[in-house]
Structure 1
Amino acid sequence: MLNFSRRQFLAASAAGVVTSVAAGGLSGCATRSGKTGIKRLAPPTNAQLQLLFYADTHAQWQSVYAHPAANHLGPMSLLGQAPYLTEQNRLATLGLQANPVAASWLTAQGARQQVQRFSNNELSKMGGYAVLAQALAEKREAFGVDASLTLEGGQCWNGSGLSSMTAGRYGPLSSHWLGAEVRVASEEAVLWPNNLAQLYRDFKRPVLTAEQPISYLTKAGVKIAVVGSVNPWQQFPQGFDEQDWLAGLQAHIKTAAKSASLVILLCDAGTNPSLWLSTQLEGVDVILSSRGQDLWPQPVRVQSNSGKAIPVCFAGSQGQGFVELQLTAEGDNWQLAMQYQPLFTQVEPAQAAVAQQITQLRAAYAGWLDQPLAKTPDWLYRRDVLAGSWDQIIAEALKTTGADLTLAPGLRHGLALPPGAVITRDHLLSLTAGYSAKVFNLPANRSELQSRLEVGADQLLSDDWFLHSSEDLPRLTGSHFVLRYQALAGQRISELEWPVASTSEKVRVAGWSTHYQNQARSAEQIEGIALWQLLENWLKTQPNDWQLPAIEQPSLAFVDGHPGWHPEALL
C-alpha cells in the first residue's frame, strides 16, 4: 500500500505534464489573419480564463478500470508524434519514465501493474461522475466561477447499459452534475431521434449542432465564441467532400470571430479529423477534440506547412479525468497552459449528492444490469489497433451462428476488466455504445472481404486524415492477412487466407455492424438477437475455469525501429 496523501499522489501522477503554448500566435488568429482576412476582437488587457473540458465519458457514471491502448497506429505522417507513440515513448516524451503512477493512466502495462499491486482496488479504479463532478466544481471555485467555462465533448450521453435502457433520459441531468455550460451534439441524434428535442430542452443550455453551430458567452469580461463541429460521418452519412466541410466550418468561425475575443472549436469529429482541421482552419485559438477517445496530457500541435497548426486537446474517455486550460491574454493573442487531471477514485473526494442520485436512478435497473454472468480469467480490454480480448470473445460468440469467418469493426467502446472481475450485462451493453447491434450472417467471397478490409485500413492509416472514423482496424477471425503499413491505398491488405479452395467461392461471414450489413442486401439477421444477448448466451456455456481464447490478429509489415510504433510494444 502506498503511503501517499491525496496531494502527494496527484502531484506524482501529473508530474511533468503541464505545458504552455501561445495559442493565438500558433493558430494565426491575432486581430487580423492574412490568409482569410478574419478579424477578431482584441482580448481585454491581462484577461485570464479557465476552460474545463471532458469528453467521451460514455455515460459511465461509476468508476472504471483504466486500460489505454498498448498499440496506437496512425498515418505514417503522424507516427512519432503524439498521440501515436509506443508505450515507452509516451512516458519518455513526457519525462515520466520513472513515474509508475503516471504510467498507470498513460499505458496499458502500467494500468495492469497497478491493479496487480492493489488487490483491494484502493487505487486501481478511476473516474465516476460523483468524483468528476466534485473535481470540476473544486477547479471552478478555486479559479473563480465567473472566469471559468466548462465544455462537454461528444459521446457523453450514450455508451452505458443504463443510457441504452432509458434512451438517454438522464443525459441532460448528468451533464448538469458536471456543470457543463456548452456541449456539442453527438450520438444521441442517431440513437434517439424521437427524443432529441426533449433531451435538448432538458439540457437548458446551448447544444452545438450543424444547424446551430455557434454559442456566445462572456466570462470575466471576455467575449467567447464556441463553435461546434459534429461528426461529419453523422452529418453526411453517404459521404462528404472535405473541402465543403472545411469551408462550412471556416464560414462559421469567421462569423464567430466578429463578436469574440476567444474562439474555441468543440470538435466531435475524432482525433485525425481534428488534427487535420488544426492545419487548415484560421481564426481558432484552440480545438477541443472528442470521439477518438484518445488522451494526451499536453496540447498537440502537429507539423504543418504553414507552421501555424492550432493546438488540439485530447481529454481521454470514460470520465477518467479532464483537461484544465488556463488562458492569459498577451496583446492580441492568448497564452495557453494545459494540465490533464487524472482522477483516482479512492483518493479523490466524491460529491455526495451526485453519488446518492446515481444510486437512486440506477436502483430500478441495477438488478438486471448488474446480473453476474461470468468471471474474467484474464484482462478484458477493447482498445488496440489490431484486436482486444473483448473482440475475440465477440468473435467466439459470433461463430456459434454457423459462420466460417467473423468480421467486426474496431470499435473503441467497452469497459476494461481485470482478472477475477465479474462480467455483467452492463459490460456487454457497453461494447456497442448503445446501438441495437443486431447480429447478421452473410455470404462473401475473398474479393469482397478484402475490399472491406482495405476500406478499414484506409480509414485508419490514410494521410487524408479527415477520413478517420475513430475506429481501429476491423477485426477478422477464422482467416489471416498481412497489413502492409507503407503500401498505397487499396494495396495494404495482402495474403488474405481463404477457407475454401476457390477464392471466388462465397463463405458465411458473421458480424454485427451496419458498416457491413449495408453493403449486401442478402444479409440475414439472426432472428431477434442483439450482440449482447449472443455474448451472454456464449458466456453462460463456459465452465467456471474457462480461459480466454487466443486473440486472432493480422501480421504487420512495418518499418524496423520506427519511433512511433514497433511490434515489440505488443503486450
Structure 2
Amino acid sequence: MSRREFVRLLAAAAAARFALGSKAALADADGERLYDIPVYGNVGLLHLTDTHAQLLPIYYREPSVNLGVHGSRGQVPHLVGEALLRHFGVPPRTRQAHALTSLDFEQAARVYGKVGGYAHLATLVKRLRAARKGSLLVDGGDSWQGSATALWTRAQDMVEAQLALGVDVMTGHWEFTLGAERVLEIVDGPFKGRIDFVAQNVKTADFGDDVFAPYALREVNGVAVAIIGQAFPYTPIANPRHFVPDWTFGIREDELQRTIDAARKAGAQLVALLSHNGMDVDLKLAARVRGLDVILGGHTHDAVPQPVVVRNAGGVTLVTNGGSSGKFVGVLDCEVRGARLHSWRYHLVPVFANLLPADSAMQALIDGLRAPFREQLDEPLAVTETTLYRRGNFNGSFDQLILDALMRQLDTPIAFSPGFRWGTTVLPGETITMERLLDQTAITYPQVTVSTLTGEQIKAVLEDVADNLFNPDPYYQQGGDMVRVGGLGYALAPEAEMGHRIRDLRLGAEPLRADKTYRVAGWASVAPNVEGEPVWAVVARDLRDRKSITSLKPEQPRLIGMSNNPGLS
C-alpha cells in the first residue's frame, strides 16, 4: 500500500468515526428538513452573493480567524468556531455547524459532501420560489470572477448561468475587473430587460452622472419593493483603476439617503440595499441612514445565520451577510403593511449538493459551457496530503503553497500574495488540478513580479494593509484579509495605532534591517502595464516539479493583545 493510499484510508476511517455514534449521523438523516422553510408574509427576497464563478459543487472551509478589534471585538461578524455556534444557538457537530464553521472540517466535509453548484442552487431556488409567489432573487456581486472558465469566457458562462437561474437584480465588484467596456456590454446586452444591474454609488468622473440605475422598483404581490445597488466602494483602490478610468466609486452616504427618499417617493413600501460594502461597513451605514428596511450584504464572505438589527433615526434596519461560493441562499420573508416592514423571518440556507438534486436543464447548460475547456481544467498538477484552503485574516495553506512556489521558482527570500477571500478548498488525497489552482488565481491582472524593497518599505506595506483590515472606523476598511507573507516572520498588534501594528520583522533568525534591500516576489499588482508570467503558470510549474504536497504549515504572525478574542479559533 502506498503512502497516498494509506492517507486516503485513514481519512475515510476518520470520516466514518465522525458520523457513527454522534449527532452527525442523525443530522445527515434529516438534512432534508433544512429546505422545508415555512412561508411567511407577503414579500420574499432570495439573496445570493459572492459565488465567485463556481458553477459546480465545491468544498469551502470557513475561517478559523476573523478578528474583531476595538468596538467590533466579540461582535457579529467577528465570531468563529464554537463562539459563533454559541452566539446563534447552533448545535455543534451538525450539518449546520459544518456549514458555518471550520470545526472538524476535513472529517465533516467527507460526511456531508460538497456545497453549492448552480444546478443545485437552481433546484433550491425553484423550490423556494414555488412556495413564495413573486419572490425576487438578488445577486450581490462577485459572480463573474473566481474560476478558469469565467476568466477565459470573459464571464459569459456566468452570465448565462445567472439568466438561467432567474436572477432579478444585481450589483458588482470583481465584475469591474473585466473592464468598463465588457461590463456595459453585458448590462446593455444579455441583461437588458431581464436582470437590473444597479449601483447608486458609481458615477461618471466628468459630470457625476449615474453609470447604472441607482435602484430597481419591482412589485411583489401588490407590494412595491425597491432594491438599491451599492457596488464595492473601493474598487479603484483595491483593484486596478485603469479598468474603470472614467468612473468613480465610494460609499456616498448622502447620495444613498437621497436615493432611499426618492424610492419612497416613487411608491416603494419596502426598501432593501443590495450591498457589496462588507458587513462592518454595512453595520455603520445602517445606523446613519433612514428609511432602509434591510441590507442584503456581501463582499466579506461572512456567513451570518441571523440579521443584526440596527437602530437609527428612522427606526431599525436589518443587516445580513450571505457567505460565499454558492454555499448559502439567504431567505428573507417579509410582512409589509402600508408603507413599512411590519415583521419578518430570515433563514440562511446552506446548499448541500448531496441533498439537493441537480436541476437537469441547468446541469446541461453548465456541462456545455465547460466542455471546450475540459482537458485544460482537468490537468493534474500534484496530489495534496493536507487540506488546502484560503480564508482567514492570515495565511491559509493554499496561500502558503503559492508563496512557496513564488520563492522557489523566482529565487527570492520573501514573497507577497494578496489577501483574497475567494478560493475553493482541496481535501487530503485529492489531486490539485489546473482548475483548482485557477480557483485561487483567476484574475485579469495575474502577472508575477520581482521587486527590490528596503526593510522600511516592506514594513510600510504591511502597516498599510493592517490598517485596512484593523482600522477602528469601518469606513476605512476595504474588506480583504492581511497580505499573505512568505519567508518573513513578524508580530502584529491589531489594536495599536496605525504605523505601530507591525513589529519584530525577521528573515529567518535575522531582524529585517530598515536600510537593507531585499528581493520580493509578488503578483496581482494594480499598476498599469505590468509585465510578467501569470501566477498560475509559475505555481503550476512548481507543482509539476513537486508532484506531492506532503506537509505545509502556513506562516502566521505572532498576535499581540488578541488572547480570548472570539474571532480566533
TM-score range, shorter chain: 0.7 to 0.9
Distance in structure 2 (CA, Å) of the matches to 1:364 and 1:196 = 24
Q: Is the CA contact (8 Å cut-off) linking 2:141 and 2:175 kept in structure 1?
A: no
Distance in structure 1 (CA, Å) of the matches to 2:396 and 2:147 = 19
Distance in structure 2 (CA, Å) of the matches to 1:494 and 1:114 = 37
Q: Corresponding residue for 2:332?
A: 325
Q: Is the CA contact (8 Å cut-off) linking 1:438 and 1:525 kept in structure 2?
A: yes
Q: Deviations over 1:431-452 (max 9, x none)?
A: 1342331000111111111111
Match of 2:383 among 375, 381, 398: 375
Deviation at 1:535, TM superposition (A): 0.8
Q: Is the CA contact (8 Å cut-off) linking 1:47 and 1:220 kept in structure 2?
A: no
Q: Secondary structure at the match of 2:186?
A: helix
Is 2:198 aligned against 1:202?
no
Match of 2:450 among 414, 437, 441: 441
Q: Is the CA contact (8 Å cut-off) linking 1:482 and 1:557 kept in structure 2?
A: yes
Q: Secondary structure at the match of 1:386?
A: coil
Q: Deviations over 1:421-472 (max 9, x none)?
A: 1111111112134233100011111111111111111111111102222211
Q: Corresponding residue for 1:352?
A: 360
Q: Corresponding residue for 2:6?
A: none
Match of 2:344 among 333, 336, 343: 336
Distance in structure 2 (CA, Å) of the matches to 1:557 and 1:500 = 18
Q: Corresponding residue for 2:275?
A: 267
Q: Give the TM-score taking structure 2 as reference length.
A: 0.86
Q: Deviations over 1:38-66 (max 9, x none)?
A: xxxxxxxx961000000011110100113
Distance in structure 1 (CA, Å) of the matches to 2:546 and 2:272 = 50
Distance in structure 1 (CA, Å) of the matches to 2:305 and 2:512 = 51
Deviation at 1:88, TM superposition (A): 0.7
What's the C-alpha RMSD, in Å, of the aligned pairs?
Answer: 2.8
Deviation at 1:273, TM superposition (A): 2.0
Paired letter, 2:73: L
Is 2:233 aligned against 1:232?
yes
Deviation at 1:287, TM superposition (A): 0.4
Paired letter, 2:222: G
Paired letter, 2:463: E
Distance in structure 2 (CA, Å) of the matches to 1:241 and 1:62 = 34
Taking structure 1 as reference, are residues 502 and 450 closer, same or farther at Cα in structure 2, changes over 3 Å only?
Answer: closer
Q: Corresponding residue for 1:136?
A: 125
Q: Corresponding residue for 1:565?
A: 567
Q: Corresponding residue for 2:553?
A: 550
Give unmatched runs, 5+ long, in structure 2.
1-18, 203-209
Distance in structure 2 (CA, Å) of the matches to 1:244 and 1:90 = 29
Q: Corresponding residue for 1:33?
A: none
Distance in structure 1 (CA, Å) of the matches to 2:511 and 2:98 = 45
Paired letter, 2:535: L
Q: Secondary structure at the match of 1:203?
A: coil
Taking structure 1 as reference, are residues 324 and 425 closer, same or farther at Cα in structure 2, changes over 3 Å only?
Answer: same
Q: Corresponding residue for 1:62?
A: 56
Distance in structure 2 (CA, Å) of the matches to 1:463 and 1:543 = 44
Q: Is the CA contact (8 Å cut-off) linking 2:381 and 2:433 kept in structure 1?
A: yes
Moved more, 488-497 or 91-100: 91-100
Taking structure 1 as reference, are residues 423 and 458 closer, same or farther at Cα in structure 2, changes over 3 Å only?
Answer: same
Task: After TM superposition, list the pairs within 5 Å mapping 1:75-474 onto structure 2.
Answer: 75-116=69-110, 118=111, 123-144=112-133, 146=134, 148-200=135-187, 201-204=189-192, 205-209=195-199, 210=202, 211=210, 212-234=213-235, 245-259=252-266, 260-301=268-309, 310-330=317-337, 332-334=339-341, 335-399=343-407, 400-474=409-483
Deviation at 1:503, TM superposition (A): 2.4
Q: Secondary structure at the match of 1:497?
A: strand
Q: Is the CA contact (8 Å cut-off) linking 1:189 and 1:196 kept in structure 2?
A: yes
Taking structure 1 as reference, are residues 247 and 58 closer, same or farther at Cα in structure 2, changes over 3 Å only?
Answer: same
Moved more, 326-335 or 367-376: 326-335
Distance in structure 2 (CA, Å) of the matches to 1:294 and 1:502 = 38
Paired letter, 1:561: N
Q: Give the TM-score taking structure 1 as reference length.
A: 0.85
Taking structure 1 as reference, are residues 254 and 306 closer, same or farther at Cα in structure 2, changes over 3 Å only?
Answer: closer
Q: Corresponding residue for 2:12?
A: none
Moved more, 342-351 or 424-433: 424-433
Distance in structure 1 (CA, Å) of the matches to 2:413 and 2:29 = 55
Moved more, 452-461 or 97-106: 97-106
Is 2:532 aligned against 1:538?
no
Q: Is the CA contact (8 Å cut-off) linking 2:290 and 2:312 kept in structure 1?
A: no
Q: Is the CA contact (8 Å cut-off) linking 1:72 and 1:84 kept in structure 2?
A: yes
Q: Is the CA contact (8 Å cut-off) linking 2:41 and 2:344 kept in structure 1?
A: no
Taking structure 1 as reference, are residues 330 and 97 closer, same or farther at Cα in structure 2, changes over 3 Å only?
Answer: same
Q: Is the CA contact (8 Å cut-off) linking 2:290 and 2:314 kept in structure 1?
A: no
Q: Deviations over 1:179-233 (max 9, x none)?
A: 1111113322222433223312212321113222111111111111111111111
Taking structure 1 as reference, are residues 347 and 6 closer, same or farther at Cα in structure 2, changes over 3 Å only?
Answer: farther
Distance in structure 1 (CA, Å) of the matches to 2:305 and 2:25 = 25
Paired letter, 1:246: E
Deviation at 1:332, TM superposition (A): 4.6
Task: After TM superposition, list the pairs within 5 Å mapping 1:43-58 onto structure 2.
Answer: 48-58=42-52
Distance in structure 2 (CA, Å) of the matches to 1:220 and 1:283 = 21
Deviation at 1:311, TM superposition (A): 1.4
Moved more, 306-315 or 90-99: 306-315
Distance in structure 2 (CA, Å) of the matches to 1:307 and 1:77 = 23
Taking structure 1 as reference, are residues 202 and 276 closer, same or farther at Cα in structure 2, changes over 3 Å only?
Answer: same
Q: Is the CA contact (8 Å cut-off) linking 1:88 and 1:97 kept in structure 2?
A: no
Deviation at 1:331, TM superposition (A): 5.7
Distance in structure 2 (CA, Å) of the matches to 1:525 and 1:95 = 51
Taking structure 1 as reference, are residues 19 and 9 closer, same or farther at Cα in structure 2, changes over 3 Å only?
Answer: closer
Deviation at 1:176, TM superposition (A): 1.6
Q: Is the CA contact (8 Å cut-off) linking 2:68 and 2:75 kept in structure 1?
A: no
Paired letter, 1:458: D
Deviation at 1:234, TM superposition (A): 1.6
Distance in structure 1 (CA, Å) of the matches to 2:445 and 2:437 = 12
Is 2:499 aligned against 1:511?
no
Taking structure 1 as reference, are residues 327 and 143 closer, same or farther at Cα in structure 2, changes over 3 Å only?
Answer: same
Taking structure 1 as reference, are residues 62 and 359 closer, same or farther at Cα in structure 2, changes over 3 Å only?
Answer: same
Q: Is the CA contact (8 Å cut-off) linking 1:152 and 1:182 kept in structure 2?
A: yes
Distance in structure 1 (CA, Å) of the matches to 2:498 and 2:179 = 36
Deviation at 1:6, TM superposition (A): 8.0
Distance in structure 1 (CA, Å) of the matches to 2:512 and 2:49 = 48
Instruction: Report % sequence identity.
Output: 28
Deviation at 1:178, TM superposition (A): 1.8
Paired letter, 1:313: T
Q: Is the CA contact (8 Å cut-off) linking 1:66 and 1:111 kept in structure 2?
A: no
Q: Is the CA contact (8 Å cut-off) linking 2:263 and 2:271 kept in structure 1?
A: yes
